[in-house]
Chain A
Amino acid sequence: MTDSLREKLVYTCKDVCNLNLSEAEQDNYPYVVFDMTTSPLKDKDGVYAYSGDTSIRIVGTVLSALETLRSSIESAIETGMRNESFSSTLADVNEECTDGIWTIELNYTLKQYADWSEPVETTNTD
């Protein structure tokens, strides 16, 4: 099995926000970035899952807009990453404001139990 937790997370949230790794932090608010540390879970017959400690940070200047975004992200993850192939557990949520810039941090434990690859979109040539 190969680790594709990051790709699955980005794909799951694609209709809600443009989710990038934390290197993509910018000055245009709001934006959403994430960090993930994955590790394989093994039984004696090999890797049976990947676990990812994930921090999603929603950054902006209008708290109410960030709360709406947060709710949408949580719903997307709950819908897209709670099945026989993936699991998601929201560990905690932190909010802080520095110099008028709000940051909502969602800390998840995500797990992947089966191979996954982003569906290839086909174009209709008719």
Chain B
Amino acid sequence: MVQGYNVALKINDKTILGRTQDDLTIAATIKESQTKDDAGSKQYSVVGQEVSFKCSALIDVSGGDASTMDRDSLIALALEVGEDAEFDVTYEADEGDAYEGTGIITNYSESSNASDDATLSVDIKITGEFTKVSANS
């Protein structure tokens, strides 16, 4: 069993400061076909994948360090355009395999109310391939 805190998404080799959740979604890109011989049943084949992450964290503006990225750094990244908006993504789950790819931020949002800790949410989409690199030791 893998504990949630042992699963880590890293942006440019840094985790998000105050991270509380990292959700990975791999959605298949489907091609649909149907011939008369299919007798009414559609056929589907996988032609690729869309890989995306949804991450949540407590808002922390303490600056981060060599291994963590704070809220201000995330906003700066979310405001980049073109190639500057791309970054390395690494995803590790305890002693399981690690995966990596190139990511872009497709959505960044913050939430704050009067009595709870302020939180942020960031959506990341992998552009290109998402490949297995090694077992995380």
Contact of A48 with B5 at beta-carbon distance under 8 Å, contacts A43-B18, A43-B19, A89-B115 already known: no
* A48 pairs with B114, CB closer than 8 A: no
* A45 pairs with B115, CB closer than 8 A: no
The answer to whether B84 has its CB under 8 Å from any CB of chain A is no
Q: Which residues of A contact B (CB under 8 A)?
A: 41-46, 48-49, 89, 109, 111
The answer to whether B11 has its CB under 8 Å from any CB of chain A is no
Q: How far is the CB of B62 from chain A (nearest CB, A)?
A: 10
Shortest Cβ distance from B9 into A: residue = A44
Interface residues on B, range: 10 to 19
Q: Which of B19, B20, B22 has the most CB of A within 10 A?
A: B20
Interface residues of B in 86-137 (CB under 8 A from A): 114-115, 117
The answer to whether B4 has its CB under 8 Å from any CB of chain A is yes
* B115 pairs with A48, CB closer than 8 A: no
Q: Which residues of A contact B5 (CB under 8 A)?
A: 42, 44-46
Chain A binding site: helix, strand, loop or mixed by DSSP? strand
The answer to whether B57 has its CB under 8 Å from any CB of chain A is yes
The answer to whether B69 has its CB under 8 Å from any CB of chain A is no
* B20 pairs with A44, CB closer than 8 A: yes
Bound-complex Cα distance A48 to B8 (A): 17
Interface residues of B in 35-63 (CB under 8 A from A): 57-58
Q: How far is the CB of A25 from chain B (nearest CB, A)?
A: 29
* A89 pairs with B8, CB closer than 8 A: no
Chain B 3-44: CB-based contact to A (< 8 A → 1; otherwise 0): 011011000000100111010000000000000000000000
Q: Which of A41, A43, A111 has the most CB of B within 10 A?
A: A43
Q: How far is the CB of B112 from chain A (nearest CB, A)?
A: 13
Q: Which residues of B contact A109 (CB under 8 A)?
A: 115
List 11 A-B residue pairs with CB atoms under 8 Å apart, sorted by A's residue number. A41-B117, A42-B5, A42-B20, A43-B19, A43-B57, A44-B5, A44-B20, A45-B5, A48-B18, A89-B115, A109-B115
* A44 pairs with B58, CB closer than 8 A: no
* A48 pairs with B58, CB closer than 8 A: yes
Shortest Cβ distance from A89 into B: residue = B115
Q: Which residues of A contact B58 (CB under 8 A)?
A: 43, 48
Bound-complex Cα distance A49 to B118 (A): 13
* A45 pairs with B117, CB closer than 8 A: no
